[in-house]
Structure 1
Amino acid sequence: MAFHRRVVLPLVALLAFIATVYGDCTCEKNKRVTNCALNNNQECKCVSLGSDVTVSCGTLTSKCLLMKAEVTGLRGRKRPSQAFVDNDGIYNPECDHNGNFKAKQCNGTSTCWCVNSAGVRRTEKGDANITCDEVVRTSWIIIETKPVNTALDAQSVERAFTEALVQRYLLKEKHINVAYDNSYITVDLKQNASEKSASDVDIADVAYYFEKDVKGDSIPIQSLWNITVRGEPLQLQDTLIYYVDEKPPEFSMKRLTAGVIAVIVVVALAIVAGILVLVFTRRKTGKYEKAEVKEMNEMHRELKS
């Protein structure tokens, strides 16, 4: 019995220690994870859904891993018959071991394209032989959004918005510039490669978290996006996000939409019409001037006679 106790008691103590150090935890910054546990530093670590990459719950998860986790979650759901896939929006990305987008992305068939560091397509779609030499960094992201109530103090809106970005998404204030003109809120997120340390969150991840918050599909477990200006909730609408890369995208005229092509055609026709009107006007003016000179000469001859 004494031997049994000498073996069991240390084992129980060891199990209790393991349960304390490696016990289950909650990933506050990302709900799309599994197998969460505390490490030796009491930091919550989890495995991102759809991949074998372990993420830290104390900061933002990369956009690439979040998109992969979202696609993984959608696979098990029954979709409406009229649903369709937006391959330029959510797609099943290829991520590297750090959770970043690989330069070349494909849709599971033979169609591939190149993306920037935000996972946004920056080339024409091609076949599997397309070459993507590097992941071009997105160093500037512009967010344009409109508050439902536009009768707000500009300075209060800008301060509240900036504080929310810093507190909720952990982005340093030096990367943020917010402007409000009583109509639209414009947020400039700027962060080139030299300005980002290993511990800094990426502006592409911040923009994705923000986009999900605005759409009501928040990634953090904590409460939804909630920002108040002088005690009044700031509700947003008509949100658009633009990406500016360190190198220009490589699109051709083929990517122009029918609407843009129509506008170009209309403008071209208007220019041609204007030129034709000018030519005909000048011709008529010339004929009129010639006729006037002829009449004057005839009148002059009549006076002399």
Structure 2
Amino acid sequence: MSAPHSSASSQSTAASPASPPEYVLGTGSDELARLAFQHRLWSDAAHAAWKLAGILPGHTILDAGCGPGFATFDLAQLVGRAGHVFAVDESAAFIDHVASQSRTRDLPNITALVGDVQNLAATLTPAMRAHAGRGGGGGVGADLAYARWVLCFLKRPDLAIAGIAAALTPGGRLCIHDYFDYESMSPGPRRDSYTQIVAATAKSWRDRGGDPDVMARVPALLRDAGLEITHLALHHRVARPHETMFHWADTWWRNYVPKLVQMGYVTEPQQAQFFKDLDELAASPTSFLVLPPVFEIVAVKK
């Protein structure tokens, strides 16, 4: 873990003496590039949800599980210099990227924090108080929080939601994008190798304490945390080989399937068959991929 540091544009702060476990998909350059591409493809859904939640200049925002910060940068631009974004992630490498890019992009209204979103109070509360004490933009407490593909990787999503709820001001809103019915993704025509890899992926998440169907549990967790759902929707996309969404799935599998082999969830022959089938699907003008369902929730703090 790196020592805490700060600048005019951002700060990176350790949450505890022991680093939280690293992001299950890794934090290397391959995953950084994949996440950048993924954000480009899903930024339309993110911006629409933020608009629905009433994001405004001057707002204080919490980006919970921000990763390398691609949504963070958009949020910081939307709230302007009068607002502020607190970006929290367990990965010091990702937070270093947020801090560096905040300076490069001249976004001084970002505070980047290394911390476990299942224990937000340890990191976020002191940072918010310190920021308010310096007379920074935004207020004490978040007007809007965002969590995209975060809860599905957590052992205790209930603690994350409770922590986010505590950080929101009364009337503040939480936007969530995450999975339910993850294993329904499939190619057309179906391939046994694809079914096996999807099942292995879901098992690898569950074995680490995650839940690829987490959105089935989220409404009850929101209720228990004092949040009321005002919007529930589904983004279920289909991709053909010539479309960029097909490339999104392809880059995901090129990155993650070798990790499944390394972790012992699939064999090298299974990997070889899967990529052979994926290449054949990509070369066929009549094939398509059904992508995993992404559910969208906006909830308000009562």
Asked if TM exceeds 0.5, the reply is: no
Higher relative contact order by CA 8 Å / sep ≥ 6: 1 or 2?
A: 2
Q: Of Structure 1 and Structure 2, which has the larger fraction of its residues in helix?
A: 2
Give the TM-score of the pair, scaled to structure 1: 0.31
Give the TM-score of the pair, scaled to structure 2: 0.31
